Structure 1
């Protein structure tokens, strides 16, 4: 009796595993998502946007702890279709990027403003901002760096 119960459990389990693979995966693809992907991919091959920077790194020199360092990176779309920056992610919470939310047309520019709060960050500092874009690479990185002099705690 015990053998029969084990065999039945095995057969049922095997049947469930086999049935999970049933169905055509391509039937689950939404037509609208496929059309969006085709449109996106066609722009990559035929004149994708190209992002150019006035600078890719900014050295803020030496500053005192507690100062907020600010800079602006000017980006130019040197490609043939609209440049879209969907996200700008800093490597640290002390660095805050602001980027254009609207598309940058070919030949036009946009500003990426970056502020770095040096409070609690001393000595050599290097921060990166990763841009998620619709360029062929998909990601671009800009950097800021410099030296932060600690506060004098003896006063």
Structure 2
């Protein structure tokens, strides 16, 4: 009798868990559909779907550096660096978004197309407020390259000032 009760409870939990997951996925899809219908520029895909261009030509981002170390900084310092790149591909480079791994890392990127052979800059600002020790942050760039994205890295060693 006790075994039957446990099986019934287990089955009920399984059904409820599965039903909730399906409902959440549908809710998210409805929300994304609503947002994209009202403001298509507000919807960002986290996994780019690289489509082969009709002419088969892609843009390519070639960076002078893909990583920057700010060295040792004091907690609360605001620092920034520029990541220079060149479009070494055969098509216009279009950056659709650039996102920091947290709110303390803010990228600024070109909003216009970068033609083949032209250069551009992505400025990355980092606010060390509330951080301490060795810190690694990333910036993910979504663009129309064959890979669909590019990741830049920044590092810092943040010292907490003495309160004496």
Map 1:28-67 to 2 at 5 A: 41-43=51-53, 46-67=56-77
Larger Rg: 1
Within the alignment, does 1:96 sit opposite 2:106 as a pair? yes
Using the TM superposition, give the Cα deviation of residue 42 of structure 1 relative to its aligned residue in structure 2, in angstroms. Answer: 4.7
Instruction: Write the distance in 2 (CA, Å) between the matches of 1:133 and 1:116.
Output: 22
TM-score normalised over the length of structure 1: 0.71
Q: Distance in 1 between the 2:57 and 2:51 partners?
A: 11
Alignment CA distance shift 1:113-1:49 (3 Å): same
Shift of 1:65: 0.8
1:107 maps onto 2:113 in alignment: no
Task: Give the alignment's Cα RMSD to 1 decimal.
Answer: 1.5
How far apart are residue 57 of structure 1 and its match? Answer: 0.4
Quote the offset at 1:45 in angstroms: 6.2
1:100-127 per-position Cα deviation (integer Å, ceiling 9, x unaligned): 0000000001110000001101100100
User: 1-side partners of 2:68 and 2:91: how far apart?
Assistant: 28
What does 1:4-153 align with in structure 2 at a 5 Å threshold?
41-43=51-53, 46-153=56-163
Deviation at 1:146, TM superposition (A): 1.6
* Unaligned stretches of 5+ residues in structure 1: 1-39
Aligned to 1:43, the other structure's residue is in SS state: coil
Deviation at 1:43, TM superposition (A): 2.4
**Structure 1 runs of 4+ with >3 Å offset:** none
Instruction: Please report how far the alpha carbon of residue 44 of structure 1 lies from its aligned counterpart in structure 2 after TM superposition.
Output: 7.0
Structure 1's 70 and 148: CA in aligned 2 closer, same or farther, altered over 3 A?
Answer: same
Instruction: Number of aligned residue pairs: give it.
Output: 115
Which structure 2 segments of 5+ residues have no match?
A: 1-49
Deviation of 1:99 (Å):
0.3
| Worse-matched range after superposition: 40-49 or 130-139 | 40-49
